[in-house]
């Protein structure tokens, strides 16, 4: 089967942590948690540096500074009611994988945050990929009820992967 995550590695430092394996494992865990068939959907991931993500953050969020992860959902699946689970994506063509969207992740910010939080880099990157994929699936953290749902989902997925609660500080 084709990989669930299509990756473009712009910054070669990402090769040092086997990003394709981390991303695939994270995507499969999210899809399993959400009851989605990985044969029907895919995710695109850009592994870049802070300079590139700052440009993207400026273009798409009017915040021209580095951030850890950005996401661009293919469709708006967000729930209308605060704290409600988002709608599930539906495949458009029966024999082709449907993209649920794109994610970008920045090397320097991820590395710095992992060091500051005293977390293994691979665990922190896995958390950010799970976080980004949940955004693609309509989860958000702007409203309090939505944030509680999203964080609870992240914690559950990561726990099943053997990664401790990233919000437990």
Q: Which domain does 140 fall in, by range?
A: 5-160
Question: Which residues is 46 bridged to in the sheet?
Answer: 8, 104
- Output the pTM of the full model: 0.96
What is the mean predicted confidence (pLDDT) over 52-57? 98
Please check whether residue 113 lies inside any domain of the structure: yes
Please check whether residue 167 lies inside any domain of the structure: no
CATH code for the domain in which residue 52 is found: 3.40.390.30
Please check whether residue 76 lies inside any domain of the structure: yes
- The DSSP code sequence of 5-17 is EEEEE-SGGGGGG
What is the mean predicted confidence (pLDDT) over 1-5? 85
Q: Are 70 and 86 in contact (CB under 8 A)?
A: no
Please check whether residue 165 lies inside any domain of the structure: no
What is the mean predicted confidence (pLDDT) over 113-137? 97
Query: How many domains are there within the chain?
Result: 1
Please check whether residue 70 lies inside any domain of the structure: yes
Please check whether residue 17 lies inside any domain of the structure: yes
pLDDT at 95: 76
- One-letter-per-residue 3-state SS of 104-125: EEEHHHHHHHHHHCCCCHHHHH
- The DSSP code sequence of 115-168 is HHTT--HHHHHHHHHHHHHHHHTT---SSHHHHHHHHHHHHHHHHHTT---TT-
Please check whether residue 169 lies inside any domain of the structure: no
Give residue-wise pLDDT tens across range 64-120. 999 999 999 999 999 999 999 999 998 877 778 899 999 999 999 999 999 999 999
Helix (H) or strand (E) holding 29: helix 19-34
Least confident of 2-6, 83-87, 99-103, 156-160: 2-6
Helix (H) or strand (E) holding 21: helix 19-34
127 known member of a binding site: no
Residue 169 has pLDDT above 80, yes or no: no
């Amino acid at each position: 089967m084709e990989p669930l995550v299509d990756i473009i590695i712009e910054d070669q430092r990402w090769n040092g942590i086997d990003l394709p394996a981390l991303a695939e494992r994270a995507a499969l865990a999210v899809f399993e948690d959400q009851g989605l068939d990985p044969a029907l959907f895919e995710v695109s991931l850009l592994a870049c540096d802070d300079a590139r993500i700052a440009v993207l953050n400026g273009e798409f969020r009017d915040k021209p500074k580095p951030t850890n992860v950005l996401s661009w959902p293919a469709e708006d699946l967000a729930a209308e009611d605060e704290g409600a689970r988002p709608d599930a994506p539906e495949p458009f063509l029966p024999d082709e994988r449907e993209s649920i969207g794109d994610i970008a992740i920045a090397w320097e910010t991820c590395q710095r945050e992992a060091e500051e939080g005293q977390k293994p880099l691979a665990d922190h990157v896995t958390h950010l990929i799970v976080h980004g994929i949940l955004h693609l699936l309509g989860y958000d953290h702007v409203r309090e009820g939505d944030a509680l749902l999203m964080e609870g989902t992240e914690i559950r997925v990561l726990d099943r992967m053997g990664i401790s609660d990233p919000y437990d500080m």
